[in-house]
Chain A
Amino acid sequence: MRRMEADVVVIGGGATGASVFRDCSLRGMQAILVERGDIASGTTGRNHGLLHSGARYAVTDSHSARECISENKILKQIAGHCVEATDGLFISLPEDGLDFQQQFMQGCADAGIHAQELSPKQALQLEPAVNPALIGAVRIPDGTIDPFRLTSATILDAREHGGALLNYNRAEGLLIEQGRVQGVRCRDLRNGEQFEIRCQAVVNASGAWCHEIMEYADLSVDMYHSRGALLIMGHRMNGMVINRCRKPGDADILVPGDTVSVIGTTSTHVGRDELETLEVTADEVKTLLQEGSKLAPSMLDARILRAYCGVRPLVAESSSGGDRSISRGLVAIDHGEQDGLPGLVTITGGKLMTCRLMAEVATDKVARLLNISVPCETASRPLPGAHLPEPIGRKMRQGQSRYRLPDSSLPNSIAGSAVYRHGDRARSFMQEDDHHNNAVVCECEVVTRGEILYAIETLNARSMSDLRRRTRVGMGPCQGEMCACRVAGLLASQQENGDEVLGSLQDFVNERWKGIRPVLWGDALRESEFSYWVQESLLGLSSLQPEGKAEDNRDLYHEL
């Protein structure tokens, strides 16, 4: 059996695991990250993308609120190309009354969150998409966060500091010798090969699945799996985050994320056997639209791109109450202290936007195990790319042209999109005269050939869906109708195994369909028919599949 060695093995390539991977690498440990799928393919890739100001928890959970506002400020500093400081509104509708607003202002003040009361008129002027029936509003420093880019940039930094990423590798067991965890048994999921990594410490950052890793050591944890569904609208309807100023409930946040807006979420308890089968139901879609349109009425006639859901990895502290009353705080367990099994640290709970803090807490524990005294630097050290180009020319108002390649004559839509996604790293794949590589492959999201190749070569993308997570290819209104085959061609030019690319093209198309199905009416339906026509009737996609797979694909289309 193949053997590898490292100081630390991190299990789980979500935002949490990626941040631990980075923190360990920056503190000089030799770290390996093991992820069974792609990076951010778990809950991290299935959330709301809200850069909380903490205001949502100001009344109910002051501790979380404080954590949020502190991390909010840090991420704006270190991850400029992964977050947008849009600010947010907490609006009160006539049915909510204004009583909560008073508690809310007090809660924000207590947690150190800057909150500014606005008149309905001021709120409408700042954010015309907001429900004009509002009777009050408060402005708070919410923002948006792109989970894929945050994870990817974090991992890139770790790798540039000596870490190794093993995606598509599953942890299948822990090596426990002499009462200590001494390594991880893994399987390469692409060829089935088993191997071992020996190390001094293992960090379990497998989110909603963290009980499974614990079970490898006969340990257990009382997880509360809370599932949330969301809808992606076809365009960015609102410039600021819009929240309801009342106790947290269903579909009460509308987040502008990149070129879209996302309404969410719902909240239902799911059993651990349901973690892999996640489909959004018609009832959830109905609730999201009904409640969501109270935040922004224009949602009712806007196009819906797709629906998705994720599972919050919450740890039950007591068995009482619904999931929203369970703390969103992070849970870090040194199993040496808690269970007498040194060498294993579990980090879970928390939020996407507290991933850095979670990593700091977990890495501190690991450092203690390894006797390393290097302090944590992640709060002040920018992620790769995070230096956005400074505006050129004195006349430009501050913040006016963040998304420009300095001194570039390339079209703003092309250069700007590259900078928006990769910050100053855009320079590494976008050269002025390289017409070939500056050709646009995905037109909805303006992804160039160069960016695709960069994602393959530098960001470890191996499949079509990996490319989607790193570049947004196929995430726009056409959902890959125009670009899927172009991208597959590019991927095939970089890989030896053509069948694998075809397989990943099929997975990609199926995955797109899965998200569209719950909202299959109106423009989404028209688009689907057209996609079917392009991909099936014109390009004969399913007839191109490797033997045996063709049938599955046809089944899927017939279900429609």
Chain B
Amino acid sequence: MKSDVPESRATEAVARGPRVPFRWMDTLWVQVTGTLCNIACQHCFISCGPKATQIPVMGVDEVQRALDQGRDAGVRHVYFTGGEPFLHPELQSLVARALDVAALTIVTNGILLDDDTVRWLAGAFERSRNALDLRVSLDGMTAAQNDSVRGRGTFAEIVAALQRLGAGGFSPVVTVVEHEQGLEGAEARARFLDFVRGLGIRQPRVKFLPLLRIGREARRSEGYADRLGDEALLPAVESSLLCATGRCFTAQGVYTCPILVEDASARLGASVAEASRGIRLGWAACQTCVLDGLRCNT
């Protein structure tokens, strides 16, 4: 498996920082398309893009294996991520398989959601007892704001996709990365909700995410200067971390969380069972989770 991290640093990373016991295997992230994405955002926390193959696309059998292990562990939610999950040639089948096990959220940039896709998604939503949710990322209310990080023309494409989803009766969660000032606070939130409602989405849901300064984003801002000390976390913080209640399955093994899939030192094993153990937060990005409150409980 590939690694940019020298072995010595890998060991160092996991041997320090606050301890996070593994509470429950509630959330199984599956990086179905690896790092493959149809766009290449500047703030992507894994360096995804149309030619990014450093983490391969998962085969159907591999995804099924992840889901089976999730089922054995009594998993509650499955998240499909990439890259861009809708680039997966067998996504329809993967969605059906995941919904058979748990509630499913697909994290997407939305661009590939054409009418046909929205139609089959709506069918899957109707048929399944388990929830099917979409998380579409949009990083501003204007093309200028969004396209500066996501690429020229993407605002119009994402907005069109949101309109199709709204027309299809979907209520996607629109995620906004706080990549510039003015995208945070109650007022910004209210304006964003109105904006999304204006696209024909009846029950808009918006989630603001703090910026992760790793991956390609590390080149845009300065990355992280520091790491967390060894002091114990507050229980409320500890229990709300992604890595306390979930693991990420990729073509290269099972990782602490979907954020660190490019860091070999965050690989905890080949199976969910192997990876279901406590860790120490020795990675730089952990600061964002701990200090800025990156959570996934909406």
Is chain B a partner of chain A in the same complex? no
